[in-house]
Amino acid sequence: MSTWNKKDLVGLDALTAEEITHLLDTAMAFKGVGERNLKKVPALRGKTLVNFFVEPSTRTRTSFEIAAMRLSADVVNITATASSLQKGETLKDTALNLQALRADIIVLRHSSPGSSNFLSERLNSSIINAGDGAHEHPTQGLLDIFTIREKFGRIEGLNVAIIGDILFSRVARSNIFGLLKLGANVTLVGPSTLVPKRFEKLGVKVRHHIDDILESADVVNLLRIQHERQRKEYFPGLGEYISLFGLTKLRAARLSPSCLIMHPGPINRGVEIDSDVADSSQSVILDQVTNGIAVRMAVLYSCAGGAGIPA
Amino acid sequence: MKNPLNPDLSLAGSCIVMDAVAINKAIRRIAHEIVEQHPSAANVVLAGIPTRGTEIARRLADHIEQIEGRRPYLGSVDVSMHRDDLATRSRITTLQETNLPMDLDGRPLVLVDDVFFTGRTCRAALDAITSFGRPSTIRLAVLIDRGHRELPIRADYVGKNLPTSLNEKIRVRLEPLDGIPDSVSIVTAP
């Protein structure tokens, strides 16, 4: 039986394989809570969780909110427009104010890479990274890995292809770190502007043609094309992208029948994934959403108990 | 000097109070008591508290099946997420899965654990069970009752009463989990 003794979750890069396995196993137990009549346990009763989202997000914030409520914590949501960051206060000062308001856990989404790490070193509250720039999105990585492990019973030796805009993707980085630690073979697929060769230093393969990986993949994880982050020089244009990297019906037919199709959402139907493929029986996109709650419960529970959050 | 039955303990600080034969007899007696008090013992839900409570519950189910010819429902309850001391712990052990029947309402339930001490684990288990349903009765079976209750809770079936002092620890070792022969020993803190 493994143990956990950290107060924060900043990224999967900083965790050992044993710590990742602890979170996945604990999430299994919490998944059971979501299937009971009474979907609530008292573990975080009396604790306050602040969802501090400086970048827009609906599903991650809602998922954390549901997870916290199932653990009986009180939840406060702060969004960028409502926050005093707009009035010129620094991130650290805002966070210190949250701590002074006795926030036990702060779930942070911020556009700057390293912002979660910065706060975790300066605050006594638990800091959970819900996405920091293009750095990491550890709970998304964990829920992807949890979903794969649930379907295959293991991670070791599986061929996982991550397709799309890797350069700007924190989801891809958390997946890469976590999957490699647990022994998967990871291949990144996309145009050379968005999937540079230098990613191979992390221990993954890089391919620039989706057709190279279709037959051998156990999992294809399609990332959303982040229109809001694209610049002309990086992105080839929608039509070209679809014809080169889109998971069309024709391409999906070449996947092994046991291959899982994943997507962190929100999906762009007809862009990175064909509408029919997204709804096919191989698609586990909605399982990912359900599993996200269990994984986040495991993270909140472990971090709240791992280092004794201040009373 | 190593204790052959309990290699993780030195012989000096520990004393074996039950061996495999005594443990088996105690569990068999508890099985008979459960059958005696439940008119339809096969309807009983045995809920073990991980990890050793689940193993004892499994053995109870074996005995009840031998006595009654039918096997009771065997489940488990991980109480960690219902405990009230999360913030005062400094490390978290991985949660075990909870497995109870969906139709718990109206069925008699016997909660099973290895060592009965402060009563706080049992309180957390009662809380966990109520989130699944409303059993007709909940009773408590323990292999060892070591005293020092902090809550008004008592056991219905006890393998052995073992008066202890607070600086002693009870070590239960069960072969399928620990890889060494069954034993219960008292360990005195140096």
Are A17-136+292-306 and A138-289 equal in CATH topology? yes
B67-82: average pLDDT? 92
> What is the least distance, in Å, from the CA of B89 to any CA of chain A?
6
**pLDDT at residue A37 above 80?**
no
Asked if the structure places residue B183 within a domain, the reply is: no
pLDDT of residue A309: 43
CATH topology for the A17-136+292-306 domain:
Rossmann fold (3.40.50)
> What is the least distance, in Å, from the CA of B38 to any CA of chain A?
27
pLDDT of residue A76: 94
Could you tell me the pLDDT band of residue A36, with boundaries at 50, 70 and 90?
A: confident
**Does residue B32 or residue A311 have the better pLDDT?**
B32
> What is the least distance, in Å, from the CA of B81 to any CA of chain A?
5
Indicate the domain borders of chain A.
17-136+292-306, 138-289
Asked if the structure places residue B9 within a domain, the reply is: no
**pLDDT at residue B105 above 50?**
yes
Query: Looking at this protein, which amino acid is placed at residue B97?
Result: E
Query: pLDDT tens digits for A176-205?
Result: 999 999 999 999 999 999 999 999 999 999
pLDDT of residue A82: 63
Closest residue in B to A26 (Cα) is: B95
Query: pLDDT tens digits for A149-175?
Result: 999 999 999 999 999 999 999 999 999
A26-33: average pLDDT? 92
Instruction: Quickly list DSSP for A64-122.
Output: HHHHHHHTT-EEEEEEGGGSGGGGT--HHHHHHHHHHTT-SEEEEEESSTTHHHHHHHH
Asked if the structure places residue B135 within a domain, the reply is: yes
> What is the least distance, in Å, from the CA of B32 to any CA of chain A?
32
Number of domains within chain B: 1
Mean pLDDT taken over chain A: 91
Query: pLDDT tens digits for A82-137?
Result: 666 777 788 888 888 888 989 999 999 999 999 999 999 999 999 999 999 999 99
Chain B residues touching A4 at Cβ < 8 A: 91-94
Asked if the structure places residue B116 within a domain, the reply is: yes
Confirm or reject CATH 3.30.1330.10 for domain A138-289, answering yes or no. no
Of A191-195, A246-250, B82-86, B132-136, the least confident: B82-86
pLDDT of residue A229: 67
Asked if the structure places residue B182 within a domain, the reply is: no
Chain B residues touching A2 at Cβ < 8 A: 93-94
Domain range for B29 is: 20-81+99-165
Alpha helices in chain A (DSSP H): 17-33, 59-70, 91-100, 115-122, 138-152, 170-181, 238-245, 249-252, 275-278, 285-306
- Measured CA to CA, the distance from residue A99 to residue A102 in angstroms comes to 5
A3, A30, A37: residue with CB nearest B92: A3
Q: Do B81 and A47 touch (CB under 8 A)?
A: no
**pLDDT at residue B144 above 50?**
yes
Q: Do A1 and B93 touch (CB under 8 A)?
A: yes
Chain A residues touching B95 at Cβ < 8 A: 25-26, 28-30, 298, 301
> What is the least distance, in Å, from the CA of B133 to any CA of chain A?
8
- Measured CA to CA, the distance from residue B10 to residue B130 in angstroms comes to 42
pLDDT of residue A83: 67
Could you tell me the pLDDT band of residue A310, with boundaries at 50, 70 and 90?
A: very low
pLDDT of residue A200: 95
Asked if the structure places residue B178 within a domain, the reply is: no
Instruction: For chain B, list residues whose CB is within 8 angstroms of any CB belonging to chain A.
Output: 51, 78, 80-84, 86-99, 127-128, 130-133
CATH of the domain at B142: 3.40.50.2020
Closest residue in A to B81 (Cα) is: A43
How many residue contacts between A and B have a Cβ separation below 8 Å?
A: 86
